[in-house]
Structure 1
Amino acid sequence: MPRPWSEKEKEIIKKNLLIEARRLFEKYGLQKTTVDEIARAVNISKGSFYIFYQSKEELYFDVLEDVEREFKDKMFKNAFEPGMNRRKSFKSFLNQMIDLLITMPLYKEITSSNYELLLRKLPEKTLEEHMQRDQEEVSKFFNYWMDQGWMKKVDIEALNGLFLSLIHFVIHRDDFKGSNFEAAKDLWIDALANYLIIEDDKAEEIKVK
């Protein structure tokens, strides 16, 4: 009988699971990647895989969170580009965010059908913790933008809900026919930027007051 893994060995295996799973998910997609393939890539048995994760969907979600952290800080920190009109800059940020959701290998897997499957497979606690972390991370940027006078002061929870509904809109893009998605996307972006973002001259007036 093999000896049990030490905590350090478990930490290394968990890290390798995230690395190899990301490679396989990006190459083959969530549905076509199997637990056997993931376990083999990390050199553990299929049974050992379930010591770390209840399902491949739970691992996929962890990988997705890592990817989110990679681009979230970069995108949100650079949302307002120096020298560019704030509303134009914010529209550019939203367009980039949506493009990433549609084109990045892991994100483009999340269509309405795959998303529902993912939610059914994940423990409720995992989803709740993810939502909490996500809202806390994004709220830091919203609060900073409001404090700088770049964004209208609105209820943070409502603003988080608004951005979440935008992400759901992108996830369900396959439900739109023809050019409706692009037209609706542009309308979403215009509405958000025009309502939330304070023009440069108005922001200066607020600071003076």
Structure 2
Amino acid sequence: MPKVGYSAQEREHIRESLVATALELMARQGIQHTTVEQIYQAVGISRTFFYTFFSTKEDLIVETLYLQQPRVLSYARSLMADPALSWREGVRRFLHSCCYGEQNGIAVLTIEEQQMIFRRLPPESRRVFREKQAKLFGGILECFGVRAHRERISLFTNLSLTVMIVRRGIPGSLPLLVPEAVDQTIAVQIEGIVDCLERLREQDERE
């Protein structure tokens, strides 16, 4: 017989397992291709029980992104601390890993996934999401030795997400772009971001 009662500690453990499993699946196969059924079956619970933790798939997706944020920041720090990498190579490798997230265990939202989530999130949840996003990108900038002013955080966020979206969007969401040149395109865009950050870093060092 299925268990009918769970302690608060057991429920918290199941919730953590759902979020961790969802992140693992979404990072590997994409958010759109990851179903609620795959997640709750992997954890070993029923569909009905799943929805006592998360009322929608979008709620779970947001939680997985929150779980991922400290891991992404830790990865950036490890690259900056690697004596075998120059500053430029560390930043370049970080951006490249994010762009090719499915190869590196990092979940990256496509254009369609971003639209889907933000359409269904209530205003307060959107505000919290924005705050956490700004904190993450500000933390990455500081890790790179760049002062995290609000304007810089906004710019770095847009530049980073743009190149990730382009990588994920060709050819499905961006059919006019040439698929055969996607890797070269991403490499050029990453180099431009690295150049921008290097100028900001040098500016900070002079001040």
- The TM-score with structure 2 as length reference comes to 0.69
**Rg (Cα) greater in structure:** 1
* CA pair 33-178 structure 1, distance change in 2 beyond 3 A: closer
Q: Using the alignment, how far apart are the partners of 1:61 and 1:78 within structure 2?
A: 26
Deviation at 1:159, TM superposition (A): 1.8
* CA pair 156-80 structure 1, distance change in 2 beyond 3 A: farther
2:96 partner letter:
N
**Residue in structure 1 matched with residue 103 of structure 2 by the alignment:** 103
Q: Using the alignment, how far apart are the partners of 1:71 and 1:144 within structure 2?
A: 11
1:95 partner letter:
H
1:167 pairs with one of 142, 153, 161: 161
Structure 2 residue runs of 5 or longer lacking an equivalent are: none
The one-character-per-residue Cα deviations of 1:148-180 (angstroms, maximum 9, x if unpaired) are xxx4x5x62222222221213322432232455
1:23-172, aligned counterparts within 5 Å?
23-25=24-26, 29-79=30-80, 81-82=82-83, 85-99=86-100, 101=101, 103-104=103-104, 107=107, 110-143=109-142, 145-146=144-145, 151=146, 156-165=149-158, 166-172=160-166
Q: SS of 1:52's equivalent?
A: coil
Deviation at 1:111, TM superposition (A): 2.6
1:13 partner letter:
I
Q: Percent identity?
A: 20
* CA pair 31-137 structure 1, distance change in 2 beyond 3 A: closer
The one-character-per-residue Cα deviations of 1:115-155 (angstroms, maximum 9, x if unpaired) are 32233333443332232123224323434655xxxx4x5x6
Is the CA contact (8 Å cut-off) linking 1:87 and 1:199 kept in structure 2? no
Structure 1 residue runs of 5 or longer lacking an equivalent are: none
Aligned positions, number: 196
Q: SS of 1:131's equivalent?
A: helix
